[in-house]
C-alpha cells in the first residue's frame, strides 16, 4: 500500500510539476530544446561544464527544472549566460562576459588557488556558439579528454584493463586502441622505464 500523507502529496505534486516544466523546455524553441535534450541524455559529468553550485541541480527533477528555468531566463529574458572555454574545456556560466569580475565568476575556487600557487593564468575565452551547439562542442572536448586518460591507463595498467574500464562511457569505441596507439606506446615506455 502506497504511503499517503500531506507532505508526501506535496512532494509528488512538486515532482510532477518539475517533469512538466522539463518537458516544456525540452519541446520549446529549437536552440533551447537541443541543449535540453543533450543535458537529459549525456553521460558527461555536469561538474565539468557547470559550476559546483549548478551541477548538482542536474541530479533531481526539481533541481533540473530550476536550472532550465534559469537558463531560459538567461537566454531569452534579461538574465546573463555565457558559453566559455577554460583551457579548452567548454562551460556554461551564468554571468555576463563584460562583468568586471568575469574571470572570478568563471573559474572555480580550485582553479583560482591553482593560479595563485603557480603564478600562471588559465586561458579563459568566450565561445561564439549557440545553445544548440554546446553539447556537440562539449562532447568533442570530452572524447579528447577521455582518450588522453585512456592512453595513460592503457600504457600503465594494460590495454585490456583500459578497454574494460572505459566501456562504461557512451562515447568509448575500441578503435581508440588504434587512434591512441602512439600515446599508449609512449606511456608504456614511460612506465616501463619508471619500473626499472
CB 151 within 8 Å of CB 119: no
User: Which of 128, 153, 168 is the C-terminal boundary of a domain?
Assistant: 128
Better pLDDT: 39 or 196: 39
- Same domain for 152 and 103, yes or no, is no
- Same domain for 1 and 72, yes or no, is yes
Confidence band, pLDDT 50/70/90 cuts, at residue 1: very low
Average pLDDT score, the chain: 92
Measured CA distances, 74 to 66, 94, 157 (Å): 12, 7, 45
pLDDT of residue 7: 82
Task: Bin 3: left if φ > 0, else alpha if -120 < ψ < 50, else beta.
Answer: beta
DSSP one-letter code for 122: P
- Same domain for 49 and 13, yes or no, is yes
pLDDT of residue 39: 96
pLDDT mean over 162-185: 95
- Same domain for 2 and 61, yes or no, is yes
Asked if the model's pLDDT at residue 26 lies above 70, the reply is yes
- Same domain for 71 and 85, yes or no, is no
- Same domain for 185 and 119, yes or no, is no
**Considering its fold, how many domains does the chain have in total?**
3
Confidence band, pLDDT 50/70/90 cuts, at residue 3: low
pLDDT mean over 163-180: 95
- Same domain for 12 and 60, yes or no, is yes
- Same domain for 61 and 101, yes or no, is no
pLDDT mean over 72-90: 90
pLDDT mean over 48-70: 93
- Same domain for 153 and 178, yes or no, is yes
- Same domain for 104 and 164, yes or no, is no
pLDDT of residue 14: 87
Kind plus residue range of the DSSP H or E element containing 168: none
Range of the domain at 12: 1-76
Report the C-alpha gap between 122 and 138 in whole angstroms.
18
DSSP one-letter code for 70: H
- Same domain for 14 and 71, yes or no, is yes
DSSP one-letter code for 78: S
Better pLDDT: 49 or 32: 49
- Same domain for 185 and 118, yes or no, is no
| H-only helix segments in the chain | 6-26, 30-41, 52-55, 61-76, 102-106, 109-118, 131-157, 159-166, 176-179, 181-195
Q: Can you read off the three cell numbers belonging to residue 43?
A: 553521460
Amino acid at each position: 500500500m502506497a504511503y499517503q500523507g500531506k507532505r508526501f502529496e506535496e512532494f509528488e505534486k512538486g515532482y510532477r510539476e518539475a517533469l512538466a516544466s522539463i518537458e516544456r523546455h525540452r519541446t520549446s524553441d529549437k536552440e533551447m530544446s537541443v541543449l535540453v535534450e543533450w543535458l537529459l541524455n549525456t553521460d558527461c559529468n555536469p561538474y565539468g561544464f557547470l559550476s559546483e553550485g549548478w551541477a548538482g541541480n542536474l541530479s533531481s527533477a526539481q533541481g533540473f527544472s530550476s536550472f532550465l528555468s534559469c537558463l531560459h531566463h538567461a537566454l531569452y529574458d534579461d538574465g546573463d549566460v555565457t558559453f566559455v572555454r577554460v583551457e579548452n574545456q567548454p562551460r556554461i556560466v551564468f554571468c555576463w562576459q563584460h562583468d568586471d569580475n568575469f574571470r572570478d565568476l568563471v573559474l572555480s575556487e580550485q582553479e583560482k588557488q591553482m593560479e595563485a600557487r603557480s603564478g600562471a593564468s588559465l586561458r579563459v575565452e568566450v565561445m561564439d556558439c549557440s545553445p544548440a551547439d554546446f553539447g556537440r562542442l562539449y562532447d568533442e572536448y570530452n572524447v579528447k579528454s577521455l582518450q588522453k586518460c585512456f592512453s595513460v591507463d592503457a600504457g600503465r595498467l594494460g590495454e585490456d584493463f583500459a578497454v574494460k574500464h572505459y566501456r562504461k562511457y557512451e562515447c568509448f569505441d575500441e578503435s581508440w586502441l588504434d587512434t591512441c596507439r602512439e600515446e599508449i606506446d609512449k606511456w608504456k615506455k614511460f612506465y616501463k622505464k619508471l619500473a626499472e
